[in-house]
Amino acid sequence: MSNGKKIALWIVSILLAAAFLMSGGFKLLKPDEARAGFVHYGYAPWFAILIGVSEALGAIGLLIPRLAALAAAGLSIIMVGAFFTHLTHHEASHTVVPLVLMALLVGVGYTRFKKAGDSPSAR
């Protein structure tokens, strides 16, 4: 992989990590507000904390190359859930952010997974 692509991968990974750390941090630091939002969509209140912890841990995982593909896969699953939650509640305009984040996560995950397969230790 060229240096430019490595830099781009790190920039995207850092931006994604920041986004998910902020999102997960909100759910963990303001649990009452987060739970109210999840209850509004028909989810159990504890689910907000589970998603918050998952997003925060996934954000950290995106910054660790060996874990980045797995973290991206897990966060992508959360984004699929966010997409369908907004879609089923007739909030089509809110589906754009989860789709964009998911596309970026798939790109990071694929690149990290492919790169791990190319390493000499994997042979």
What pLDDT is recorded for position 115? 74
Q: Do the beta carbons of residue 18 and residue 59 sit within 8 Å?
A: yes
What pLDDT is recorded for position 2? 84
Whether the pLDDT of residue 13 is over 80: the answer is yes
Q: What is the pTM of this model?
A: 0.88
> Whole-angstrom Cα distance, residue 40 to residue 111?
36
Mean per-residue pLDDT over the chain, rounded: 92
Residue 97, SS3 per DSSP? helix
Share of residues in the chain with pLDDT > 70 (%): 93
Distances (CA, A) of 36 to 3, 31, 59, 72: 45, 8, 23, 27
Across residues 90-116, what is the average pLDDT? Answer: 92
pLDDT tens digits along 48-73: 999 999 999 999 999 999 999 999 99
Confidence of residue 121 (pLDDT cuts 50, 70, 90): low
Q: Where are the domains of the chain?
A: 3-115
